[in-house]
Amino acid sequence: MDESTGTVLLNTAHSTYAFRVDRTAGAVRHVHWGLPIPLTDAVSLPLWSEHDNSFAGLLDGTEEYPVDGGARFAVPAFEVRFADGSSPVEAAVQNPVLLQDNHVVIPVEDRSRPLTWYLHYRVPADGDVVQRWVEFFHTGTEDDGDILLVRSASAHWPVPQRSHWRLSSVHGSWSAESRLHRSPLPVGETTLGSRRGHTGHHANPWIAVDPGDTGEEHGEVWLVALATSGSWRITAQRTAAGRVGILACEGHEAAELLLRPGQQHRTSVSLAQYTTGGFGTASRSIHRHLRTHVLPHPGELRPVLYNSWEATSFEVSEDNQIALARRAAALGAELFVLDDGWFRGRDDDRSGLGDWTSHPGKFPRGLRPLADEVHRLGMAFGLWVEPEMVNTDSDLYRAHPEWLLHVPGRTSTELRHQLVLDFSRREVTDWALQWLRRLVRENGVDFLKWDFNRSFTEAAARTGGPDARKVHLEHARGLYDLLDRLRTEFPQLRIETCAGGGGRVDPGILSRTDQVWTSDNTDAVDRLTIQHGFSQLYPANVMSAWVTDSPNPLTGRTVPMRFRFHGAMAGVLGIGGDLTRWTDAELTEAASLIRVYKEIRPVVQHGQQFRLLAPGEGPLTAVQYVHADQVAVLVWRPSTVFGPGQPPLRLRGLEAEALYRDEETGRQWHGRTLMGFGLPLPELPSGDYASALVRLRKTDSAGPDA
């Protein structure tokens, strides 16, 4: 930090993020975000200056945290309404404060109103990620009245000037999540987001921008993500003058928050990074950050899971679950999960949610005998729960209809025959903690599949008022608090986040859970596209993937077991089929493939991931993992294509002078050959839905002239 100019440099492993405090303008001005530069150069770099005229926003696109006030016409990061109805902010910036662990704080205050906010910047060790968030304080008295935070973004990220810009994101819907999409970034405002109360299937809270010529392993990428599990929006602004900035904000445009005198508000964290190594390097960098600084237990190997839903649906019983558990254990499963239908009143999806004790007709002895048998078989025991939801046909609803998220005086809209509980209220999360604590302790539960099967409607705080829609922010925070309390009490408990599949996935929920139910769509072909988009931000050790029956229960597609397994082996392997219908030959093949997965599991779950061939860009899809001295390559050919054979598959991330032995054939290759010429592919089975796994192990260094 250079005190004379107010210039601050944040250095990551491979980049520099620089800004300058401009006390005259009352702003923090962006200087540089890109390749590393020294502080001596940064203090001399000029600030962006737009042509001075009475129609220009002279600071637009150049500020670290633009407020709503003065000659600013772009979307502000911060918008407020004071008690007298006024809204413009006049900022006074103080000197930066350098804290420990590469943490910089910049105090800012309104020149005449009782409001102070602190801009936080932090660079976690050994990575390329910059974290940002903001804290707001109402510093006045009762005489000053309340302050309404209309917009309070986590960060505004200015990016450098380039001639062209392209935007990358994912879009989709239920059972079609994570479709990667790239398109030119137009002049104006491009906003992605969710008004649904959760991150959503239709988009995910991250975007990336590049100059238009970036590839998987080359070129510049600026990636921005938001660690929030409620409603959100990310806006990429491109001005006619050539400035681009990315605004990351929790909540949506109507999700306002009231600050009373003495109260404070802290935003969610936004994280961002820059690389010159293309989209693949950007992904691996974010994967490393999530594993190192976000996930609760990143060093663990996630177990092979069996889930009973597709076998028995709501028709669960102690006997049929024990029968499935015994078959799952014989295959090599390590975790047995009893899904929906196990609790009181739950015979279909119209009743029972909220009454979380075992169904007396299905489990007359309770759940403990099943749990004990699962543990005797050598597996962990898991349960499906949906704590944030309630059916109107439940004792909970009849006792506490006021616990709903709803607008007083309006009809509550049911979706999937259920309503949403208001987790912004402490009495509701206290109730949830009470029954979850009892459930886990009394039944020896090791794992929870935590579901969330509908979006918000009529969502407002029961008390109404100007910040009635704060639940779009506070519901997720109530969930976080509940998860924190539960995991503190039961440190051995592991949790999978689920929202009808991938409807609630973000770095915020991942700091409190262990894996993600990626999609309700288990079709092995569809999953190649879903998993490709998912991997842009999230690592394989959180990506739960099941092998289910064929024909697939959702799509009706018939796919060989080998192809289904190879698709699911690209993440955290699970089994979800009806094992009582599998033939002896299928059970034998499945057991063999599970044994193989356990051998490559450390490589897949803890290794670096390289997306070699993207789905839809040719006849083959391929992904590679590298961990220590092992390499795993998975290749899929969904449909037969007439024409010349596939050229060798050029691998990545190897040591050029090392030898790598194919563990199936014993053939050895130099690393530079595998990356230069490529790996000659094994002959795939004829017909559609062919796949292969290639395992390599580094054996020795061959020397430069070998």
Binding residues for substrate: 174, 339-340, 416, 449-453, 498, 520
Q: Which of 451, 467, 526, 549 is catalytic?
A: 451
Residue 524 C-alpha from the chain's centroid: 21
Catalytic position from the list 467, 520, 523, 549 = 520
State phi, psi for 97 to the nearest 5 degrees.
-115, 125
Sequence ranges of the binding site? 174, 339-340, 416, 449-453, 498, 520
Residue 165 has which token pair? 């810009």
Q: Are 511 and 575 spatial neighbours (Cβ–Cβ below 8 Å)?
A: no
Task: Verify whether residue 520 is a known catalytic residue.
Answer: yes
Say which amino acid occupies 405.
L
Spatial contact of 665 and 637, defined as CB atoms under 8 Å apart? no
Phi and psi dihedrals of 426, rounded to 5? Answer: -65, -35
User: What one-letter code names the amino acid at 25?
Assistant: A
Question: What are the CA-CA distances from residue 63 to residues 30, 78, 556 (Å)?
Answer: 6, 12, 52
Measured distance CA(343)–CA(428) in Å, rounded: 19
CA distance 69 to 521: 47
DSSP letter at 293 equals I
Contact 433, 482 (CB under 8 A): yes
Q: Are strands 690-701 and 630-637 parallel, antiparallel or unpaired?
A: antiparallel
| Known active-site residue 393 | no
CA separation for the pair 605, 511 (Å, rounded)? 17
Give me the numbers of helices (H) and strands (E) for the chain, helices first please: 13, 37
Residue 668 parent element (H or E):
strand 668-670
- SS3 annotation, 468-533: HHHHHHHHHHHHHHHHHHHHHHCCCCEEEECECEECCCCHHHHCCCCEEECECCCCHHHHHHHHHH
Cβ contact 358:367 at 8 Å: yes
Strands of the sheet containing 27-34, edge to edge, are 7-11, 16-22, 27-34
Residues 472 and 252 sit within 8 Å (Cβ to Cβ): yes
Instruction: Catalogue the active-site residues.
Output: 451, 520
